Amino acid sequence: MMSAEARRRTILIADPDLEVARQLKKGLQDNFEILVARDGSKALELSVLRYPDLIMFYRNCPLIGATQFLRILRSNPRTEEIPLIVLSDEEVVVMNTGYLDGVLVKPLNLDEVRAHITQVFRRSDAVREVGHEGGAVSGSLEQISMADLLQVFAMNRRTGMLQLQSGTVSAEVYVRDGRIEEALCGGTRGEKALYRLIGFRAGQFSFSPGRTAPSVSIDSATDALLIEGMRQADELERVRTELPPSFALLEQVVARDEVPEGLHPVTAELLQALPNAPRVADLIDRSSATD
Give per-residue pLDDT as tens, 94-129: 444 445 688 899 999 999 999 999 888 887 877 777
Task: Indicate if the pLDDT at residue 56 is higher than 80.
Answer: yes
The boundaries of the domain holding residue 31 are: 10-127
Task: Indicate if the pLDDT at residue 86 is higher than 90.
Answer: yes
Residue 105: give its domain's CATH number. Answer: 3.40.50.2300
Q: Same domain for 105 and 119?
A: yes
Q: Same domain for 172 and 250?
A: no
Q: Same domain for 44 and 143?
A: no
User: Residue 3: inside a domain, yes or no?
Assistant: no
Q: What is the pLDDT of residue 143?
A: 81
What CA–CA distance (Å, rounded) separates 276 from 2?
48
217 CB neighbour count, 10 Å cutoff:
15
Q: Same domain for 138 and 122?
A: no
Structural domain count of the chain: 3
User: Residue 4: inside a domain, yes or no?
Assistant: no
Give mean pLDDT, residues 199-217: 91
**Which one is predicted more confidently, 132 or 137?**
137
Q: Same domain for 218 and 199?
A: yes
Q: Same domain for 281 and 256?
A: yes
Task: Indicate if the pLDDT at residue 29 is higher than 80.
Answer: yes
What CA–CA distance (Å, rounded) separates 245 from 26?
46
User: Residue 18: inside a domain, yes or no?
Assistant: yes
Q: What is the pLDDT of residue 277?
A: 84
Bin 151: left if φ > 0, else alpha if -120 < ψ < 50, else beta: alpha
Q: Same domain for 226 and 282?
A: no
C-beta separation of 124 from 117 below 8 A: no
What CA–CA distance (Å, rounded) separates 171 from 185?
4
Give per-residue pLDDT as tens, 135-146: 678 888 888 888
Q: Does the pTM exceed 0.85?
A: no
The mean of the pLDDT values for the chain is 87
171 CB neighbour count, 10 Å cutoff:
22
3-state secondary structure the chain: CCCCCCCCCEEEEECCCHHHHHHHHHHHCCCCEEEEECCHHHHHHHHHHHCCCEEEEECCCCCCCHHHHHHHHHHCCCCCCCCEEEEECCCCCCCCCCCCCCEEECCCCHHHHHHHHHHHHHHHHHHHHHHHCCCCEEEECCCCCHHHHHHHHHHCCCCEEEEEEECCEEEEEEEECCEEEEEEECCEEHHHHHHHHHCCCCCEEEEEECCCCCCCCCCCCHHHHHHHHHHHHHHHHHHHHHCCCCCCECCCCCCHHHCCCCCCHHHHHHHHHHHHCCEHHHHHHHCCCCC
* Burial of residue 52 (number of CB atoms within 10 Å: 0-12, 13-18, 19+): buried
Q: What is the pLDDT of residue 6?
A: 53
C-beta separation of 20 from 57 below 8 A: no
Q: Same domain for 199 and 269?
A: no
C-beta separation of 149 from 162 below 8 A: yes
Give per-residue pLDDT as tens, 231-245: 888 888 888 888 888
